[in-house]
Amino acid sequence: MRGTVLVTGASAGFGMAIAEVLVQEGYQVVAAARRMNKLESLSSKHPEKIFPLEMDMTKSELFLRQLGSLPAKFQNIDVLVNNAGLALGVEPIPNIDLKDWDRMVQTNIIGLIHLTQLVISGMLKRKRGHIISLGSIAGTYPYRGGNVYGATKAFVKQFMLNLKTDLVGTALKVTNIEPGLCGGTEFSEVRLKDSAKGKEVYKGTIPLTAMDIAETVRWILSLPSHVNVNRIELMPVCQAPGGVAVVKTGN
């Protein structure tokens, strides 16, 4: 499939890498994010292939108007990559800032499902399309401080599986990509609100990179029309699923 791809969170990290890789594959890309200066810098490299679209995932009431403002050649979205998302804080539940919880839910869940619902109607009319969401292993494996972030990614995983079930019998594809430890992005710096602490997360590891995720998206889109990847979980070699925690009295 070649056509138009809408990538959210395209101003950095996974989103920017995905946009650049897909342009190389012959797609045209609507690169959406809040930071227009970064989007314009990206689109200047591929002025005919990348259209910058200012979009804040916490303001889903604006999505319909924003999509309607796209130039005619970018109007028909063939692939939606729900990449925009964030984690805020690693504090235990009693100490969390509720504003951080609200922002994660608005971005990772509400914005994602609203945008998906808007885009999917056109895909059904055209009888082609692919919805790809960036989940996380945090949606499967709990860890200390993962609380609401992990819950949002568990929601995304189940939403995507249910979406695939709703669309069975159509030509549309649905895929959830669930990465583990990934470096070279703003993720941990934003989460910890500290650049130095964010970099410390990856010290002594060889994590996944944004390009690894972009290449995964490229591969998924290259598969024959009868093949659907429901879920794909990726971890660096240095990472493994954690065990169940046990606290023994007297220790």
Q: Write the DSSP assignment of 180-191 as a string of letters.
A: -SB-SSSHHHHH
pLDDT value at 251 more than 70: no
Q: Judging by DSSP bridges, how do beta strands 173-179 and 130-134 pair with one another?
A: parallel
| Interacting residues of 34 by C-beta distance below 8 A, sequence separation 6+ | 11, 54, 55, 56
Distance CA 152, CA 101 (A): 10
Spell out the domain ranges in the chain: 4-234
Active-site residue set:
149
DSSP state of 230: -
Structure confidence at residue 92 as a pLDDT band (50, 70, 90): confident
pLDDT value at 72 more than 90: yes
State both tokens at 215.
């290449």
Task: Please state which CATH number belongs to domain 4-234.
Answer: 3.40.50.720
pTM > 0.85: yes or no: yes
Q: What is the CA radius of gyration of the chain?
A: 18
Instruction: Tell me the pLDDT tens digit for each residue of 191-240.
Output: 556 677 667 777 898 999 999 999 999 999 999 999 999 999 999 999 99
Over the chain, what is the mean pLDDT? Answer: 92
